Structure 1
Amino acid sequence: MSNSPALDVALAYYKAWSNKNLDEALEYFAGDLASQTPEGPKDADAYRPFLAGFLGILVEARLVSAFGDEDTALMYYDATTAPVPYSPVGEWFRVADGKIVEHRIVFDQLTLNGAGAIAAVS
């Protein structure tokens, strides 16, 4: 455990999805999640197929850095996917009552799209 409650939640979420445990990963999201992805906004229900698609092409994720405070956390990692061997990803989280209530994810959508990966993820 860190000194940041938000970071602890974000890292638990990362550990779950990077081990391809979709249901466990989604347990960290609040029911009223507001997520912003390169494809646009997603609520908790819409995030499930988005994450499931990503896990379907994920080979490995390597955490580079993560830090946080009481309510927010940032994470940067390198993802290896079947269509793209290197994809840097950044995620920001706002956490309340032990759940992720707001989330933003940034990745190179053009590279994934060019490799046909976005169709696989969507």
Structure 2
Amino acid sequence: MTTTKTARELAEAYFTAWEAGDFETMRGLLAEDVDFVGALGTAHGTEEALAGLRGLGKVLEKIDVKVRVAEGDEVITWFDLCTGIAPPAPTANWMQVADGRIARIRVTFDPRGLLAGFARQH
């Protein structure tokens, strides 16, 4: 028997997998045509979304979730994005689920610290 995860469960699994660098698990959570828009770029489709998450994953140290609010097929996660190159960035992530997968993601945070950190790396 297959059970469909709730939007909250999908969000929890997404952040756990991202923090662990488990991109194969993430692939199974995302809709094939996932649409991502964030402070550092956009991605359309699973492969583009995973490429972006892998890129930020190279400097990711911790995702410190403060609160997660779910209503129906939508969930918002408020967290500190902790990296090795910048101070923690307070971040809001909104996800919309369709057919048991994450279909739409919108992320907002102040990217200046991360951009400066990336610039120092080069």
1:52 aligns with 2:54: yes
Q: Deviations over 1:76-108 (max 9, x none)?
A: 111211101311111000101210011111122
CA distance in 1 between partners of 2:65 and 2:113 (Å): 20
**1:88 aligned residue (82, 87, 90):** 90
> Which stretch has the larger CA shift, 68-77 or 108-117?
108-117
Matched residue count = 116
Query: Structure 2: which 5+ runs fail to align?
Result: none
Give 1:70's aligned residue.
72
- The percentage of aligned residue pairs carrying the same residue is 24
Per the TM alignment, residue 39 of structure 1 is displaced from its structure 2 partner at its CA by 3.2
- Runs of 5+ in structure 1 lacking a partner? none
TM-score using structure 2 length: 0.85
The Cα RMSD (Å) is: 1.9
More contact order relative to length (CA 8 Å, sep ≥ 6): 1
1:99-118 to 2 correspondences below 5 Å: 99-116=101-118
Aligned-partner Cα distance in 2 for 1:48–1:37:
13
Query: Matched residue of 2:58: which SS?
Result: helix
Q: Runs of 4+ in structure 1 displaced over 4 angstroms? A: none
The AA in structure 2 aligned to 1:105 is V
